[in-house]
Amino acid sequence: MSLRRAHGFTLLELLVAMAVFALVSLMAYGGLRTVLQSKQATERQAARIQQLQSAVLMLERDLGQFVARGIRDEYGDAQPALRSADYGTVLLEFTRAGWRNPTATARSTLQRVGYGIEENSLLRFSWTVLDRAQESAPNRATLLERVREMRLRYLDAAREWHEQWPPAAYSANDPWPVPLALEVVLALEDMGEIRRLLPLPQPVAADSATAVPAAAAGAGEEERNQ
Q: What would the pLDDT profile of 82-108 be if each residue is shown by its tens digit? A: 999 876 689 999 999 988 877 777 778
Mean pLDDT score, 61-78 = 91
Structural class in CATH, domain 60-100+108-199: alpha beta
| In the predicted structure, residue 218 carries a pLDDT above the cut 50 | no
Tell me the C-alpha distance between 51 and 57, whole Å.
Answer: 10
Domain ranges of the chain: 60-100+108-199
Residue 64 phi, psi (nearest 5): -65, -20
- Could you tell me the pLDDT band of residue 71, with boundaries at 50, 70 and 90? very high
Tell me the C-alpha distance between 85 and 92, whole Å.
Answer: 5
> What was the pLDDT predicted at 4?
57
> What was the pLDDT predicted at 7?
63
Q: Which residues are CB-contacts of 177 (< 8 A; sequence separation ≥ 6)? A: 80, 156, 157, 165, 166, 167, 170
- Could you tell me the pLDDT band of residue 214, with boundaries at 50, 70 and 90? very low
pLDDT, tens digit, 9 for 90 and up, residues 155-201: 999 999 999 999 887 776 778 889 999 999 999 998 999 999 999 99
> What was the pLDDT predicted at 226?
40
| Poorest-pLDDT segment among 26-35, 53-62, 111-120, 136-145 | 26-35
Chain mean pLDDT for the chain: 82
DSSP 8-class letter at 157: T
